[in-house]
Amino acid sequence: MIVCHCRVVTDRDVADAVQAGARSVAGVCRSTGAGRDCGACVFSLKRLVCEHGTTLVAPVPDVLPEVDVAAS
């Protein structure tokens, strides 16, 4: 399944990156190239990294949509 459509990165690519030593969303992004364009895939990447039992450090892109915390 394609996780990052901008860079055509699959869930398998993410699993391989984690297995190869990526221990954070940032690491997976560096390794696969995912999450470096629109940022829409970052939450899916985060979920996949969590599923692989790794520790999250920080989301990568600075292009994430703004969230109105007061409205939620």
State the residues that interact with ligand FES by CB under 6 A.
4-7, 34-41
| Shortest distance (Å) from residue 52 CB to ligand FES | 18
Which of residues 27 and 39 has its CB atom nearest to ligand FES in the complex?
39
Q: Which is nearer to ligand FES, 65 or 71 (by Cβ)?
A: 65
CB 47 within 8 A of CB 58: no
Q: How far is the CB of 33 from ligand FES (least distance, A)?
A: 9
At residue 33, what is the residue type? G
Q: Alpha-carbon distance 34 to 23, whole Å?
A: 15
Whether residue 48 contacts residue 9, with contact meaning beta carbons closer than 8 Å, is answered with: no
